[in-house]
Structure 1
Amino acid sequence: MSYGLDANDLEREIEIGIVSAFGWAVIEFEAVLFQKFIVMSGPRSLITEDMFRKYLMNMEAKGYVTPVNFQGKRAWKRQVIEADIEEPAMTPEEVKEFIVKAHAAMKKEKKREVSSEHRVQESKKLAERIVRTLEQVMPKTKKAPWEPSLIDHVEGLHRALIESKDEYLRYLKKNIPRAYEPMKKVLNSSGEEMLLLSLRMIESGQRVYPP
């Protein structure tokens, strides 16, 4: 038997215990049911036989059990299982509160969706800005086959930024020195997370070149 429960919780726990005492049986003698309940509750149980009978009568009013005369002795028929009474039905006030919370959760989810869409749009704009910047600083003439392309540099910047900001800046200074200052500004103004997303977007071919 649990302690520290309020009256309703204690009553519900006892009712669950009584239903559990039926075991697999549907009908059980009252005296046997009481003994099984006491055994299951443990030696600390303070439930007397009279109290037990009152609980049964209260459970009868709730439709959990019904009295029957079995072989000339008082018995009880189980009408529910433990799961049917483990959680009390919500009051009208609790139902209203649940609905309010559900609506609030839905609004919050919609805000997240809007925020996510906004983030994607901003990433696309930043991706276009990065492409323009790199195109402006890279040679216009046809490069030798071994020279890195714009996408090669995007991949290199992406890998470098995953490691650290310093590695990103080192890559720029070593491989695209003319892009160092503008791409450093991009990092400072947009932040690592947004820049990583935009670089990844360019890599995956999702960029839209500006007209």
Structure 2
Amino acid sequence: MSYAYDSEDLEREREIGIVGAFGWAVIEFEVVLFQKFLVMSGPTSFITEEMFRKYLLNMEAKGYISPLEFLGKRAWKRLVIETEIEEPAMTPEEVIKFIAEVQEAGEKKKKKKAGEHRIRESKTLADNIIRTLEQVMPGTRKQRKPWESSLLEHVEGMHKALIESKEEFLNYIKKNIPPAYQPLQKLLNTNGEEMLLLSLRVIESGQRAYPPH
């Protein structure tokens, strides 16, 4: 329950003042509590007894205080301290927003970890591709025939072919690097086209430096 004549900040301020009016007491008569509140809050916070009772009922609904009869008179029991009501409770909309923000942060963290894992995998696969090509290609310029492409040129050719299709990729290898066909086909089947494309891109971009012969 909120009061039309009060802002939320003023409402919370007065609720804190009412709890503070209990002092060290846990139970206080309503009449005494009202008088103590008026004294502690000063003339600028003057409210009528009827308004004060509405605050008490509202605070009861929030679980801050509870009513009881003590020595035949109406009294109230304090259930919280001032610091426990200094922050306003979140509205349903704020709760939804807070949950969404937490979930979004969690998703970003997951994506970041997944991205880091993906990069590590692509670099490992890039190493495997290079080792495979090194095993089937001449290791020096003297050993390589004039018409043979360099390792990096084959990487570029495989990359372009795989962008077209898996079949084009395999056809390129079969035509240009036959000894590498089976091991590279196995890498493709094991890791998938997307990961192989990323790994070829890693080699091309120099993230996995390959020293030219």
| TM-score, normalised relative to structure 2 | 0.53
Within 5 Å, give how 1:149-160 maps onto structure 2: 149-160=150-161
Aligned counterpart, 1:105: 104
Aligned counterpart, 1:177: 178
- Shift of the 91–140 alpha-carbon distance from structure 1 to 2, 3 Å rule, reads closer
Aligned counterpart, 2:167: 166
CA–CA distance in structure 2, aligned partners of residues 146 and 204 of structure 1: 24
Query: Does residue 186 in structure 1 map to residue 187 in structure 2?
Result: yes
Alpha-carbon shift at residue 95 of structure 1 (Å): 1.2
* Counterpart secondary structure, 1:188: helix
CA–CA distance in structure 1, aligned partners of residues 139 and 103 of structure 2: 54
Native 8 Å contact 1:134 1:150 kept in 2: yes
Alpha-carbon shift at residue 208 of structure 1 (Å): 4.9
In structure 2, the gaps of 5 or more residues are 1-88
Aligned residues: 120
Alpha-carbon shift at residue 139 of structure 1 (Å): 2.0
* Counterpart secondary structure, 2:125: helix
- Partner AA of 1:131 in structure 2: I
Alpha-carbon shift at residue 93 of structure 1 (Å): 2.4
Native 8 Å contact 1:126 1:198 kept in 2: yes
Alpha-carbon shift at residue 204 of structure 1 (Å): 1.0
CA RMSD of aligned residues (A): 1.7
Looking at CA atoms only, which structure, 1 or 2, has the larger radius of gyration? 2
Query: Does residue 207 in structure 1 map to residue 208 in structure 2?
Result: yes
Aligned counterpart, 1:133: 132
* Counterpart secondary structure, 2:149: coil
Within 5 Å, give how 1:1-211 maps onto structure 2: 92-141=91-140, 142=142, 143-208=144-209
Residues 34-57 of structure 1, C-alpha deviation per residue, up to 9 Å, x if partnerless? Answer: xxxxxxxxxxxxxxxxxxxxxxxx
